[in-house]
Chains A and B, each alone.
Chain A
Amino acid sequence: MIRFLFKRLALTIPTFFALMFITFVMLRLVPGDPIEVRRGERGISPERLAQLRHEMGLDQPVWKQFLDYVNALLHGDFGTSIVSKSPVLHEFLTLFPATLELTLTAMIFAVVLGVPAGVIAASRRGGVYDQTLMGLALTGYSMPIFWWGLILVLVMSNTLHLTPVSGRVDLIKYYYPSVTGFMLIDSILSGQKGAFWDAVRHLILPMIVLGTVPLAVIARMTRSSMLEVLEEDYVRTARAKGLSWTRVVGVHALRNALIPVVTVIGLQVGGLLAGAVLTETIFSWPGVGKWLIESINRRDYPALQGGIMLIATIVILVNLFIDLLYGLINPRIRHAK
């Protein structure tokens, strides 16, 4: 197991360097210039542009910039945002909890609703429940989430006034320090009455929008995995022995059926982060997805570079973790290579 772990870790190191290199080169290929962008319609004289580019080190050869960048990165320095002039790592860390809170709750939402839906559908195979649930799941899976978000805002917030339209907290009623960056936790720590409920109300629509596709995927996966398990001999035997249906499905079948589901959940992480970009844009959610899009528009190279590196690192680590987990569940894989 340890050997396997080391092997996998060693394999990711070149990936990191390649990632660093590719993002760096790609960003230098993007037409546009951070200084030009922030000048808007005012423009800038060529002399001053040259001077500013020199001060920012943008006039150096790309390979030199890259070496400087790698050197700084090895010292834990992700650079400084051209726009805000504050360290990229600092910006990322202030924004990331918001994204994490959103993606985690969306995942929980998807699992909590998706698994039971899949189980119910499987146990009533071909029935009305099965068809309705799977029809809904396929619709969710086909949903353009940017549109779904707008429709939900229109109905839930603007027409029914059930939820706030954007932001994470009601700024007039509540003010508490950001301790963990997770509003759900900070609101409890603050001890202010109603603060937690307020945070939940703000979170609920973005969570639904981001959780819709994973919910559909998990429901479908659970159903098919469950159907397969229900065909197995030991389940038939259990049924024949007269064990109650609930017991058979709930205890014996579900446990085995969930193994592939767990993998699917892990594979959704990358998709969730991509979905977060659109969700955060629609709900003005102060997370890293929105920040990355804005950084592209502003040609804020250091922020983009650092942001992509950090996000990609998280995705790679999660995938590594899943591989390990899978290796634990299924020992054959360890020895396959």
Chain B
Amino acid sequence: MPSDASLPAATTTPAPPGPIRAFWRAFRENRGAVLGLAVVSLIFFIAVFAPLLAPYNPTEQFRGFSKLPPFWVEGSDPRFILGTDAVGRDMLSRLMYGARVSLFIGLSVMVVSMVVGVALGLVSAFFGGFIDVLIIRIMDLVMAIPSLVLAILIIAIIGPNLTNTIVAVTIVGLPRYVRLVRASALTELTKDYVTAAKVSGVRKFRLMTVTVLPNCLAPLIVQAALGLSDAILEAAGLGFLGLGAQPPTPEWGAMLADTRDLMLSHPWVMAFPGLAILITVLAINLMGDGLRDALDPRLRRS
């Protein structure tokens, strides 16, 4: 599988399993990463405690107060700090609850992709032969169809809702995990410690999970951070096309799509959901960069 060679993981050595403190020391050096971590933590905090923090119920409509601008613009109402949307719902409250939806989608996709990706990747690397070819071909197929088109097709089949968004985004992103795990595992399999374990009669399942897997973790963690931000972006894209979370759920992409007709007359309503997506994804990526550098300075993301 020559294209594997383009994956950086194939040529790198795994991170030395050092204490967590060493990792934190390295991570701390990167100011951007620390900032990213701080922002991610803040968003996470907001998401968890949205019911306590949000000034209003995100679905409550204040008739007669629709399309208000944020507080620093003339014509605003101090009760609605970031203004209101097309039917008079408080923008700030919707953004806060929206963080819940986006993080939930992102984390779910990440966890499912990790589990399935690791399983398929390891099986592919260990069994080789027909199973390997089959798995890799299927992954190639998935990659050959433009991701958004495939995701839309999947949603068209299983119907648009939050769970199905997670399924579609997971399937579309899965090949990256599988190929990464497979490539790392193949590299590990050539190493002496694996041969030694084999010779000493370690069973295959144990070899896969206990011996080899921990040594593939470093690139996987970086990929997971990347996958989290990608999943949030993809889900927002689906929401923007009306195929994500269903109304009146405050999902950022759907909030953006809802207000497209107000783009000229009330640009504020459109500005905030997009900014929320950008800031969240940017913070996760900053953190991901820091993770990568701290885990292994030679690991690269493309």
Which of B14-22, B210-218, B234-242 lies on the face that meets chain A?
Answer: B234-242
Task: Indicate if the CB atoms of A311 and B145 lie closer than 8 Å.
Answer: yes
Can you list, as one digit per residue, whether each of B122-160 has a CB less than 8 Å from chain A (1) or not (0)?
A: 000000000000000110110111111100111011010
Can you list, as one digit per residue, whether each of A195-237 has a CB less than 8 Å from chain B (1) or not (0)?
A: 0000000000000000000000100110010000000000000
Closest chain B CB from A25 CB (angstroms): 10
Q: Is B270 located at the chain interface by the 8 A CB criterion?
A: yes
In Å, the complex CA distance between A154 and B275 comes to 15
Closest chain A CB from B220 CB (angstroms): 19
**Chain B residue nearest in CB terms to A14:** B137
Task: Indicate if the CB atoms of B157 and A31 lie closer than 8 Å.
Answer: yes
**Chain A residue nearest in CB terms to B152:** A296
Q: Is A184 located at the chain interface by the 8 A CB criterion?
A: no
User: Which B residues are CB-close (under 8 A) to A220?
Assistant: 301-302
Name the one of A30, A144, A312 contacting B145, with C-beta atoms under 8 angstroms.
A312
Which of A89-97, A247-255, A315-323 lies on the face that meets chain B?
Answer: A315-323
Task: Indicate if the CB atoms of A158 and B264 lie closer than 8 Å.
Answer: yes
Task: Indicate if the CB atoms of A142 and B229 lie closer than 8 Å.
Answer: yes
Q: Is A121 located at the chain interface by the 8 A CB criterion?
A: no
Closest chain A CB from B161 CB (angstroms): 14
In Å, the complex CA distance between A285 and B263 comes to 19
Task: Indicate if the CB atoms of B141 and A15 lie closer than 8 Å.
Answer: yes
Interface secondary structure of A, over-half rule: helix
Task: Indicate if the CB atoms of B152 and A146 lie closer than 8 Å.
Answer: no
Name the one of A138, A154, A311, A316 contacting B282, with C-beta atoms under 8 angstroms.
A138
Q: Which of B1-39 contact A (CB under 8 A)?
A: 1-3, 5-6, 32
User: Which A residues are CB-close (under 8 A) to B224?
Assistant: none
User: Which bucket holds chain A's interface residue count?
Assistant: 35 or more
Task: Indicate if the CB atoms of B270 and A263 lie closer than 8 Å.
Answer: no
User: Which A residues are CB-close (under 8 A) to B237?
Assistant: 144, 146, 278
In Å, the complex CA distance between A278 and B300 comes to 28
User: Which B residues are CB-close (under 8 A) to A308?
Assistant: 145, 149
Closest chain A CB from B145 CB (angstroms): 5
User: Which A residues are CB-close (under 8 A) to B157?
Assistant: 26, 29-31
**Chain B residue nearest in CB terms to A270:** B143
Q: Is B281 located at the chain interface by the 8 A CB criterion?
A: yes
Which of A39-47, A49-57, A77-85, A326-334 lies on the face that meets chain B?
Answer: A326-334
Q: Is B84 located at the chain interface by the 8 A CB criterion?
A: no
Known contacts A14-B137, A30-B153, A31-B157; A221/B302 CB under 8 A: yes
Q: Is A303 located at the chain interface by the 8 A CB criterion?
A: no
Closest chain A CB from B292 CB (angstroms): 10
Name the one of B148, B153, B273 contacting A26, with C-beta atoms under 8 angstroms.
B153
Task: Indicate if the CB atoms of A278 and B2 lie closer than 8 Å.
Answer: no
In Å, the complex CA distance between A154 and B153 comes to 31
Known contacts A274-B149, A296-B153, A336-B2; A138/B278 CB under 8 A: no
Closest chain A CB from B45 CB (angstroms): 20
Task: Indicate if the CB atoms of A277 and B149 lie closer than 8 Å.
Answer: yes
Task: Indicate if the CB atoms of B141 and A337 lie closer than 8 Å.
Answer: no
Q: Is B188 located at the chain interface by the 8 A CB criterion?
A: no
User: Which B residues are CB-close (under 8 A) to A217?
Assistant: 302
**Chain A residue nearest in CB terms to B5:** A333
A-B contact pairs, 15 of them (CB 8 A): A15-B144, A18-B141, A31-B159, A142-B229, A142-B278, A144-B236, A151-B274, A154-B263, A154-B267, A217-B302, A221-B300, A274-B147, A276-B146, A277-B146, A315-B144
Other 12 A-B pairs with CB < 8 A, given A15-B141, A260-B302, A334-B2: A29-B157, A30-B153, A148-B274, A154-B264, A276-B146, A277-B149, A278-B237, A278-B240, A293-B241, A326-B3, A326-B6, A337-B1
Chain A residues in the interface with B (C-beta under 8 A): 8, 14-15, 18-19, 22-23, 26-27, 29-32, 135, 138-139, 141-144, 146-148, 150-151, 153-154, 158, 217, 220-221, 224, 260, 263-264, 267, 270-271, 273-274, 276-278, 281, 289, 292-293, 296, 308, 311-312, 315-316, 319, 322-323, 326-327, 330, 333-334, 336-337
